[in-house]
């Protein structure tokens, strides 16, 4: 009985593993090394073909993880020059598709295809051959399914250690690396995968909290150093980088309120200062106008006095001139009287 139960437990575990393998959404990174024999354009075309079959077979979930790679080795089995016109190149290639662990340098699965490509040049001949790597090819699908199982087995065996390593990285504040480690764990349908997803979110929260505290301190320092528009602009530059989900949002809101109130007060003081300057300028202009009016009044009075004095002088001069003339006339008369008195008496005979 115990033997039967043991066998059933083994079968249950095997079935669970097979279901996880079938439903798993693993990630394979397409990698093609540089080649001195394959033209660059043809090599890029081959890389695109591999990405297409990875996507079609559900192995291109997250290209950020480059541990597990899908690559191809190309060997030329035969090469012929076909007479034209136009002259063409014919090549028979052996294309070996491989999936493996690039970090541990371990091959998981491989399969080989033979393809013939004919083109008017070497690049086109390669590309025609690479077109035969089709995404609906059953041989390729089986090859990828086998590789997927190896990836699932890797994460099944190492998920716990990956999670623990990520937590250690997070404690050392290496948040990005920790998140990367957890993000690379494929969906293998286990509790560990779910914990990795939750742990990734928790570490991300720790990351934005730590960054928020640092940025908040930088903003506070910038504002304390220069509590004016320049300081406010510098502080705002730091505050804008804080994730809205960070735990320091209350402090951020308080600092923004403090800065806003100070800027408002400064603007009000500036407005009042400008109003005072305006009023002072108006007062100065009025004083200047009043002084100018007084000056003009004094100048007019001076001119009027000068005019009156001149008129008076002219009148005095005229009056003096008349007196002088009278005196001259009187003097002339006296001359005439003296002359007359010295003349002999004149006798007149009057018959009236």
Q: Please check whether residue 338 lies inside any domain of the structure.
A: no
Look up residue 344 and give its DSSP letter. P
- As a residue count, the chain comes to 352
What does the alpha-carbon distance between residue 55 and residue 298 come to, in Å, rounded to a whole number? 101
Q: How confident is the model at residue 114 (pLDDT cuts 50, 70, 90)?
A: very high
Contact 208, 179 (CB under 8 A): no
Q: How does pLDDT run across 159-194, given as a tens digit for each residue?
A: 899 999 999 999 999 999 999 888 888 877 778 888
Provide the CATH number for the domain around residue 37. 3.40.50
Least confident span in 47-56, 112-121, 133-142, 297-306 = 297-306
Q: How confident is the model at residue 39 (pLDDT cuts 50, 70, 90)?
A: very high
Q: Please check whether residue 72 lies inside any domain of the structure.
A: yes
For the cut 90, the answer to whether the pLDDT of residue 90 exceeds it is yes
Phi-psi region of 300 (alpha: psi -120 to 50; beta: other; left: phi over 0): alpha
Structure-model confidence comparison of residues 114 and 263, the more confident one: 114
Q: How confident is the model at residue 329 (pLDDT cuts 50, 70, 90)?
A: low
Q: Please check whether residue 62 lies inside any domain of the structure.
A: yes
Q: Please check whether residue 310 lies inside any domain of the structure.
A: no
What does the alpha-carbon distance between residue 184 and residue 198 come to, in Å, rounded to a whole number? 14
Q: How confident is the model at residue 130 (pLDDT cuts 50, 70, 90)?
A: very high
Q: Please check whether residue 137 lies inside any domain of the structure.
A: yes
Quote the distance between the C-alpha of residue 45 and its chain's center.
Answer: 36
111: phi then psi, degrees, rounded to nearest 5: -155, 150
pLDDT value, residue 340: 60
Average pLDDT of the chain to the nearest whole number = 82
CA proximity to 227, closest of 274, 268, 264:
264
Q: Please check whether residue 99 lies inside any domain of the structure.
A: yes
- Contacts of 31-36 spanning 24+ positions with Cβ under 8 A: 31/66, 31/69, 31/70, 31/71, 31/102, 32/71, 32/72, 33/71, 35/74
Least confident span in 119-123, 218-222, 267-271, 318-322 = 318-322
Least confident span in 33-47, 178-192, 217-231 = 178-192
Q: Please check whether residue 34 lies inside any domain of the structure.
A: yes
pLDDT value, residue 113: 94
For the cut 60, the answer to whether the pLDDT of residue 42 exceeds it is yes
**What separation, in Å, do the N-terminal and C-terminal C-alpha atoms of the chain show?**
205
Q: Please check whether residue 196 lies inside any domain of the structure.
A: no
For the cut 70, the answer to whether the pLDDT of residue 352 exceeds it is no
Q: How confident is the model at residue 209 (pLDDT cuts 50, 70, 90)?
A: very high
Structure-model confidence comparison of residues 64 and 83, the more confident one: 83
Q: How many domains does the chain contain in total?
A: 1
Q: How confident is the model at residue 242 (pLDDT cuts 50, 70, 90)?
A: very high
Domain span at residue 98? 22-156
Contact 57, 95 (CB under 8 A): no
pLDDT value, residue 334: 63
């Amino acid at each position: 009985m115990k033997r039967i139960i043991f066998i059933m437990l083994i079968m249950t575990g095997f079935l669970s593993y097979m279901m996880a393998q079938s439903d798993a959404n693993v990630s394979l990174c397409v990698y093609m090394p540089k080649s001195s024999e394959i033209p660059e354009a043809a090599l890029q075309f081959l890389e695109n073909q591999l990405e297409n079959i990875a996507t079609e077979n559900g192995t291109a979930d997250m290209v950020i993880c480059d541990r597990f790679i899908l690559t191809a080795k190309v060997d030329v089995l035969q090469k012929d020059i076909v007479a034209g016109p136009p002259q063409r190149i014919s090549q028979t290639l052996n294309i070996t598709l491989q999936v493996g662990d690039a970090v541990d340098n371990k091959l998981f699965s491989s399969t080989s295809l033979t393809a013939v490509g004919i083109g008017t040049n070497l690049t086109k001949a390669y590309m025609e051959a690479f077109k035969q790597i089709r995404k609906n090819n059953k041989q390729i699908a089986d090859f990828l399914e086998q590789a997927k199982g190896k990836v699932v087995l890797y994460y099944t065996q190492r998920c716990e250690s990956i999670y623990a390593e990520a937590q250690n990285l997070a404690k050392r504040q290496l948040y990005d690396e920790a998140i990367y480690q957890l993000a690379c764990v494929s969906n293998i349908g286990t509790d560990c995968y779910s914990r990795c997803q939750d742990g990734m979110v928790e570490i991300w929260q720790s990351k934005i909290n730590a960054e928020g505290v640092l940025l908040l301190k930088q903003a506070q320092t910038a504002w304390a150093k220069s509590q004016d528009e320049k300081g406010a602009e510098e502080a705002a530059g730091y505050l804008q980088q804080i994730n809205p989900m960070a735990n320091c949002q209350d402090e951020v809101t308080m600092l923004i309120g403090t800065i806003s109130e100070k800027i408002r007060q400064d603007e009000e003081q500036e407005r009042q200062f400008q109003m005072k300057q305006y009023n002072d300028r108006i007062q100065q202009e009025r004083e200047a106008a009043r002084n100018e009016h007084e000056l003009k009044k004094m100048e007019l009075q001076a001119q009027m006095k000068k005019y009156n004095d001149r008129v008076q002088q002219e009148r005095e001069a005229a009056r003096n001139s008349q007196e002088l003339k009278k005196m001259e006339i009187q003097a002339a008369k006296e001359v005439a009287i003296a002359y007359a008195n010295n003349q002999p008496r004149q006798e007149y005979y009057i018959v009236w």
